Amino acid sequence: MSILVIDVGTSSIRASIVHDDATVSNETALPLLPDSPAPGLVEFDAAAMARAALELAAKVAGEVNGAVSGVAITNQRASVVVWDRVTGEPIGPGIGWQDLRTVFTCLELQAQGLRFAPNSSATKFSWLLDNFDPERSRDLCLGTVDSWIAWTLSGGSVHAIDPSNAGVTLLTQNGATSWSPRPLDALGISDASLPKIVDTCGVIGVAERVPGKPPIVAMVGDQQASMLGQGCIEPGLAKITFGTGGMLDLCTGTNAPANETRTAEGTFPLIGWRHNGVNTWATEAIMLSAGTCVEWLRDGLEIISDAAESDPLAASCVDSGGVVFVPALLGLGTPEWDFGARGSIFGLTRGTGRAEIARSVLEGVAHRGADLVEAAEVDTGLVLKTLRVDGGMSANKTFIQALANATQRPIELSPVREATTLGAGLLGHVAAGSFASISDIGQTWRPREIVEPTAVLDRERWSEAIKRSKGWESGLSSLEF
């Protein structure tokens, strides 16, 4: 059987075929770069996204002569689209998950006892409504990117969202089984405009606009898809995806958490997936800047010409020469959650060169990875014996060794650099009947390499650097959610 996967990332949209032997073929992609019309704003063209999804779906389905058993959708989470139910046209720009335009709205709502993160969907929906339908008089559909793509592929017959995406809107209750009235009232959102919450895995509708009209069999957020792609389906198994940011997701099993809010160590309980009405839960820890820091070396400092060059440059020195970089270019996530923290470099001397700075950046991201691991272990009581890793930075050998040294754990590298597509496709195979259950997905994990620790990074000096980076923009640092 073949599952067609539509994978909508932050900067591109991809389509592939995932086979039941956990291989991926017929990969094709189109760039879909976000726009930043002003500092802190991140927008995308939702209509262009829809056109690209249809084009790629047709191309890949055509390459396999329409022999597609089902379609799976995976997506950047928390990004939102609002569109007219009749015309199917977006009423304004899509707003990306990184967008911070609603920070002050979050602060105002905080005073009312409602805590929203600016990178969640809730206040992004309300901003679009306030600016394009202030009277709340239009018949509109609200959705995250999975909802928008399902609507597009189905020709408007499916307006749905799965719990892995619904949960990060911060608008749900009772394990993402329904929408919560209080935040909807506060934000002026009608539940009639929101999508139906459906199982992550199962027949959701028909992809009427895809050749062969296959069923839509899975919808899943990108980080949860990456968990599945790396076989993290049992409690205590965790992965970190190092892309633009960094996301650790640790499977905690089917027992619901005591509450669904941010924990003491700054992690979040969330639904990994729902199958046959049963939630499998996870804990997520978030790093706001990871690959972004390497891009800064290239585009900001111009000390490398491409991202891959950071590896040999950093490897050309035995250590960072005492230089410590804190990757807080967008603030700090888990465990501090300080949006007012700022990126910092400490320990510069006259002898500091390009190589030491590059190494300090890679080691700083590795230290943040260790922070996420420590926070997740404290909050869940689970011990991570190994760490599975995918994402663009997983190809950087100097970084991966630094991560092993910072966490003092073996690092298992994903056989595919981006495990998101693979995970969504494998989930689709469960729905299509190729696998008897989600447990079978765990048997497909085959790391391409295991990297063991070879040294110890100085975590005490790192802790001091973090303290000095916090609170730089005091107003933003006061945001709680």
Per-residue pLDDT tens for 208-262? Answer: 999 999 999 999 999 999 999 999 999 999 999 999 889 999 999 999 998 888 8
Say whether both 253 and 153 belong to one domain: no
In terms of domains, do 25 and 81 share one? yes
What CATH number does the domain containing 8 carry? 3.30.420.40
The beta strand positions in 115-193, using DSSP E, are: 140-144, 160-161, 172-173, 178-179
Give mean pLDDT, residues 387-409.
Answer: 97
Judge if the upstream peptide bond of residue 269 is cis by omega within 30 degrees of 0.
no
Question: Residue 264 and residue 285: Cα distance in Å, rounded?
Answer: 12
- Supply the pLDDT for residue 232: 97
Assign 444 a pLDDT band (cuts: 50, 70, 90): very high
* Same domain for 177 and 304: no
Region 63-72 average pLDDT: 94
Q: What is the mean pLDDT of residues 22-51?
A: 94
> What's the total number of domains in the chain?
2
Instruction: Output the pLDDT for position 40.
Output: 82
Task: Answer yes or no: do 37 and 131 share one domain.
Answer: yes
The verdict on 308 and 363 lying in the same domain is yes
CB-based contact 254:271 (threshold 8 Å): no
Please check whether residue 363 lies inside any domain of the structure.
yes
Q: What band does 39 get if pLDDT is binned at 50, 70 and 90?
A: confident
Question: Do 295 and 165 lie in a common domain?
Answer: no
In a domain, 183, yes or no: yes
**Tell me: the pLDDT tens digits for 89-119?**
999 999 998 898 998 899 899 888 898 988 8
Q: Is residue 440 part of a domain?
A: no
Indicate whether 127 and 242 sit together in one domain: no
Range of the domain at 340: 231-413+448-481
Looking at residues 310-337, what average pLDDT do you find?
Answer: 96
What is the rounded average pLDDT of the residues 157-168? 97
Tell me the sheet residues that pair with 345: 325
DSSP 332-379: B-TTT-BTT---EEE---TT--HHHHHHHHHHHHHHHHHHHHHHHHHH
Q: What is the pLDDT of residue 320?
A: 97
Per-residue confidence (pLDDT) for residue 111, from 0 to 100: 87
Residues 186, 246, single domain; the answer is no
Residues 89 and 11 in one domain: yes
**Domain-located, residue 372:** yes
Q: Which of 222, 240, 256 is the last residue of a domain?
A: 222
Q: Which two three-digit tokens encode residue 85?
A: 């139910």
If asked whether residues 245 and 380 sit together in one domain, one would say yes
Task: Quote the percentage of the chain above a pLDDT of 90.
Answer: 90
Least confident of 74-83, 160-169, 261-270, 280-289: 261-270
Whether 71 maps to a domain, the answer reads yes
Same domain, yes or no, for 283 and 378?
Answer: yes
Q: What pLDDT does 190 receive?
A: 97
Q: Is residue 481 over pLDDT 80?
A: no
Predicted pLDDT of residue 247: 96
Provide the percentage of residues in the chain whose pLDDT is more than 70: 100
**439 within domain boundaries:** no
pTM score: 0.94
pLDDT at 268 over 80: yes
Check whether residue 192 and residue 322 sit in a common domain. no
Mean per-residue pLDDT, 261-273:
92
Phi then psi dihedrals of residue 53, to 5 deg: -60, -45
In a domain, 365, yes or no: yes
Question: What was the pLDDT predicted at 23?
Answer: 94
Task: Answer yes or no: is pLDDT of 54 > 80.
Answer: yes
Q: Residue 421 falls within a domain, yes or no?
A: no
Domain boundary among 222, 239, 267: 222
Q: How many CA atoms lie within 13 A of 365 on its CB side?
A: 32
pLDDT (0 to 100) of residue 11: 85
d(C-alpha 258, C-alpha 49), whole Å = 38
Q: How confident is the model at residue 392 (pLDDT cuts 50, 70, 90)?
A: very high
Q: Mean pLDDT over all residues of the chain?
A: 95
* Residue 197 pLDDT greater than 90, yes or no: yes
- Max mean pLDDT range (94-103, 139-148, 333-342): 139-148
* pLDDT above 80 (res 480): no
Gap between the Cα atoms of 216 and 225, Å rounded: 16
What is the predicted pLDDT for the residue at 347?
A: 97
At 177, the pLDDT band (50, 70, 90 cuts) reads very high
Boundary of a domain, candidates 172, 191, 222: 222
